[in-house]
A and B are shown apart, each in its own frame.
Chain A
């Protein structure tokens, strides 16, 4: 049930255009920030990447629960796809962060609450994907990873608040902050445009990865069917 080539192409093209538009808006339309100047423009990809990563990890959590409740492999495929895509965006956050921090704070990295908790989050989902590669049987892999993924997601707020209580230096959220902490309206519009573009990228990647997982599953089933029907072909098969 692979969804057709044409739809995929159209969607990919649309997202590519959206990304170009977002890049243009972030570089030329958004007003320059007073103290940080041009470097602040990385904000339009740093912050939306973080939001997108959190959304993807939330999808992992939903997929894990869905798998344990229904035992349908498609939930497992969604889980692994979202974990990989979320990890990609989380990596983008961890890379763009130091690039922004170096000229502004004078250092690449500081053990601040938000940086540290994002790093721990990244480590947790790396271990989630690592665990998947070490479980051979598909049913068991799906079940065990679903349990581990739920534990991870429950731990996310605990990690976040414990590290936040521990120390913080990162700017407080300016988007949903109190009076006087708001963003310039143009900046806000560009920010949300960039988020929309990155969400588009996430959806495209998620869909591709999901289809790949589905094809892998079909290939395994076919190989199994060939093995049972004609065991003498086994050596040719592999």
Chain B
């Protein structure tokens, strides 16, 4: 089976699994909403302040949500040892990882797109005029979270204290994604909207490096 076909099969399986219950989507959306609301309680921001802190808060919420949402990616394969079965299939190990990365990416994107209008209303920001570049930033930033998060979910699933481990492994590594996504988003939501190209290139660089590293290391990662 070719790589693309194998990835498509895994991706379809992951999405089918999620849309049977929609557990991940529901919990992620509610979780991000909670963070956004709790933030305004704890800082009581004025209109200007909420515009200023909004992009950072949004990406913090996405990162925390991602570190919880990506947890089950490999963990739920363990209940019936289905990862073993996947590995016995005549496909490259990278196909398994890439299928899961794409599924997680799509689910996170979906949650973010659902949350964007809510965020825009609560924090008084105009997103419609800059929707296309903003979605580009979301795609690149989320891809970075999904690539690193899925690979680390395979790591944390094999350890004790799995439920608490993934955020500890993932969040320090994602510092560059956080900074560049926040800078890009803040630039787009500022009054003369501006697309910060150097930060965008930075995001692309992170995505490429982590995808390449996952490709090179996934044989070792998924080995039993």
Contact = CB atoms under 8 A, between A and B. Distances in A.
Given A127-B168, A127-B169, A154-B209, A135 B159 contact: yes
B126 interface: no
A166 B183 contact: yes
A131 B173 contact: no
Q: How large is the interface on B (under 10, 10 to 19, 20 to 34, 35 or more residues)?
A: 20 to 34
Identify whether the interface residues of A are mostly helix, strand, loop, or mixed: helix
A140 B152 CA distance: 15
A158 B161 CA distance: 28
B134 interface: no
Given A135-B159, A143-B223, A166-B183, A124 B173 contact: yes
Given A131-B165, A147-B155, A158-B209, A123 B217 contact: no
Contacts of B221: 144, 147
A1 interface: no
A68 interface: yes
Interface in A1-49: none
A121 to B, nearest CB: 8
Contact of A158 (B168, B176, B220, B223): B176
B165 A134 contact: yes
Q: Is the interface of B mostly helix, strand, loop or mixed?
A: helix
Interface in B114-151: 148, 151
Interface in B169-224: 169, 172-173, 175-176, 179-180, 183, 198-199, 202, 205-206, 209-210, 213, 217, 220-221, 223
Contact of B172 (A123, A150, A161): A123
Contact of B179 (A124, A134, A166): A166
B62 to A, nearest CB: 17
Nearest to B168: A127
A158 B205 contact: yes
A205 interface: no
16 contacts: A68-B220, A120-B175, A124-B172, A124-B173, A127-B168, A127-B169, A134-B160, A136-B160, A140-B158, A147-B221, A150-B213, A151-B148, A154-B209, A154-B210, A159-B176, A162-B202
